[in-house]
Structure 1
């Protein structure tokens, strides 16, 4: 009992007044109250308190170490899973803020507007291609290079999704996974995960891969036709764009300069008129210098069939005519009757109508054209696309570098 224990932490339910007389000074008021309640507890000694505190501290430190270890392991597992997913190019979810919609007039097209990098986390994934999508098409509606590929996708009846890339605020995944240069266009082939980032390479790839689909005559059958298509693309990218930009960016104050710049543009167009619009027989009426005779064929650039050559040229000639007409009051000369007829026919094709920006968009793009001096300081690269569409600066405003991407 409590008297026999003499200070142990034990309780007794049968304590009497005689058992409490063991204490030398007699019970205190607190001890009497405790005894009356049938319980007597001796406070722990300082050594016991120190031992208990040491044990509690040790358990707390062990708990912290265990928590931190589990937290680090969780982070490692998450990072490993994310790395594997990225390496395998798994397309698992649409980034937060994305919106997907389908056009009833184009049942095989799914539009995905990608969220910007500012709203996306560091582990942002590529947008999902959707059911039945064969090609993911990364584009910007301002870019004529992208319009080339858009027309090709339409002509070949490929099921594709359109991912609009904001060139001023690109999503984080685009430069990580698709194009390190951050330019458009680009495609991702869902079947084999191939990524192609040059507009001319994209058109050639699509024309060959889907040879038996849609318009089967897009890729020329003869070697000469293929070389002529490449020649035309070189003229468009290297000559026409530079001449157009020089004139469009001029102030217009110098009459002689304006006349000279206009002549340069028309000279390139005359070259296209003379060297192309071939007859079905590609050897007919060809002069020694490669030009065509007055009785040359057409109505398309390589003869009577709409080909990849027409797709490469239409977006650029259309925007050239649109911008110079708005800014300079110029139109393609009537003497270039084949080119005028070709442009009107091209503008009526469904693939061109679907892929061309609206009149309002083109007006907004070209209405604030500045002089050469202002343009040089703003580092605009290409005359047929917005200033933010390129990641590099040209050496001069009059001769933009050749490129198949923007």
Structure 2
């Protein structure tokens, strides 16, 4: 079949919350279509919800980035030739072995125990914002500090270093960065986490990195593997949630009826529902989940051959009308928990309990405490992150 579209495509300036229109049109054509990456690598794009869930749970679909045919633009080894590959780019049993080592801190019971501390962080940042000048950039003043402070506490990373890891993280997820730039940024982050592990060896604490140090001592984990885990969790722990806070706020400001519904309610079930619907509606990760077939797979009238790349684009799956009626409407009362914003199957996002809890605290607090919050510029003047694998806004000027 002829390659017909480049993935991931560009979002329309007039519809900044919606998936790229070219990719949406492919969804209307068929559940599976052929696309190519920006470097010309071909792959199957899975456009619909049911087929994505089926393939994400199919053992014949591999996450192993080293397999021939895996759809990727650059080498996964961002820190140089000897840098370890992240466990999210592996298959079981090695994926499961490494993932188990960091599962405990993200268990729902432990995350819930963190809620009062996250509430304190949120309230203090709002206090600072209200006491300062306005308008203010909500990204710098609130959306980025909240998850950065939380993940630093969880990992045992000094928050004083946030400028360093945020700047390098920004390079890693910038689609326009060169391979050399990404390798340099990844190398700096790996070196930083390795040095922190060295400090934890000498002075262990009650944090996730200290837990990894204990496993290094038992011979269950190598130090480079632990450093790579630290990079993954540091990056994922602040970038995704920060963009959800800012972009979610913008979406609510553009839908004042939904904002009022959330602001005026003290029902935790509505807050939880709002978080799920915003996760479904916004889909801030838009590179898709990349896989490669290890055997021929027949699905939706097509045959994916062994060695062919497969991309599950969660943004269009979460706008599939067969799974979400009237999918382009933001409806905070919708039962949207079955979305695939966190993936599906054995590789679904490890940190989703933490992200959900943080967003629940933020969305239930910010608009109640700042009821007159409003955008301080026109939406078409905002700098959207069209150049990144994590979507959002670089700045969000607000006032009240």
Normalising by structure 2, we get a TM-score of: 0.31
Greater length-normalized contact order (CA 8 Å, ≥ 6 residues apart): 2
- Larger radius of gyration, structure 1 or 2? 1
